[in-house]
Amino acid sequence: MNRVVIALIIAFFAIFTLGFLYTYFYEESNDYWQPLTSDLNDTFNTFESSNSDGNILLDFCDLTELDPWDPTIVSFIWQQEDPSLKCKPKVKQISQLINGQLYLSPQPANVTCLWRCLYPKDDYSINFDKWNELINGSKPFCDIVEVECKAPKKAKPFYKFLHAQIFRLE
């Protein structure tokens, strides 16, 4: 490389370094950053800053309160009947979880009903507890309970239901 080019590169870095050190250590160099900061009387600063050194302009997020039922946008909201109001279940629910206890109502004749707890292992898998015979008043100690009822001599259950509760040990 040419000596002139090397000398120019060294001179450039020396000037840059001296300029940086000058603005960093010189007392009045804070005036250099003045356009980015403001005092308490500044009209732009409407909220207190979390910065302890001073207030920085735009150190807040001004979110307007939105009303989803504002009269000016009501005409854009699709108002249709709630389809769940006309929902008719195809299978009658025979098990109930009331105050942490399982019940069969009405009690089916010649039917074996079982229940088990389901425990989350992680976001994508479940641990299954062992099956227990469902007797009215059974208390599952878990959040999710699976109930299954089978008729005698049938391989597949005719009834399955998942109950949910917030279980607390008291």
The verdict on residue 101 lying in a domain is yes
Same domain, 155 and 103: yes
Strands 37-38 and 55-56: antiparallel
Confidence category of residue 31, pLDDT binned at 50, 70, 90: low
**What is the percent of the chain where pLDDT is above 90?**
36
Total number of domains in the chain: 2
The verdict on residue 11 lying in a domain is yes
Q: Which residues pair with 98 in a beta bridge?
A: 101
The verdict on residue 170 lying in a domain is no
List pLDDT tens digits, range 47-96: 444 445 556 666 777 778 888 888 888 777 777 777 778 888 888 899 99
Residue at token pair 């854009």? 76
The verdict on residue 138 lying in a domain is yes
The verdict on residue 169 lying in a domain is no
The verdict on residue 70 lying in a domain is no
Please state the pTM of the whole predicted model: 0.51
The verdict on residue 62 lying in a domain is no
> CB of 83 within 8 A of CB of 95?
no
List pLDDT tens digits, range 149-169: 999 888 899 999 999 999 988
Range of the domain at 158: 95-164
The verdict on residue 81 lying in a domain is no
Same domain, 50 and 111: no
CA atoms within 13 A on the CB side of 2: 3
